[in-house]
Structure 1
């Protein structure tokens, strides 16, 4: 099962990596991540993804920001809901149109 980390923990972990990269004797990003991840008890790949997403969010790397991703998810949910509502309205209008076409007993 996936572990959920607090956003503040993620932010501190990313800050540790980025601060270490800004040092004069900085190694490569992957070397810093290999060094920091075990100290924090986080998988290297997880920390790498957090760092990459932080760089995207800061505009230092191309990609979809966290805010844009959340907006896309929200719009997809809204779109699915509107499609369901549209199908219900189509079914209802077909039902009522059939009722209007039926001859009535007098």
Structure 2
């Protein structure tokens, strides 16, 4: 919802919130706000796309974070096994 517009960003955000929450038709809300109904419809669609993209990115980030945490746990386990093996072989070589 950015770009050059004669309407401030805050007004557009508030208008989108009002359009989503109103029980009145979008055209009526637009008339009450003094904007073209197609302009308001464009703002709502842009907000929907932005929220969908943010949600999809968040889901992907969460999946990646889980996968990375799992990999860290595996690597820590491998490191512990190798540390124990090195200590064992060092002790065997010292005999």
Larger Rg: 2
Greater length-normalized contact order (CA 8 Å, ≥ 6 residues apart): 2
Q: TM-score, normalised by structure 2?
A: 0.49
Structure with the largest fraction of helix: 2
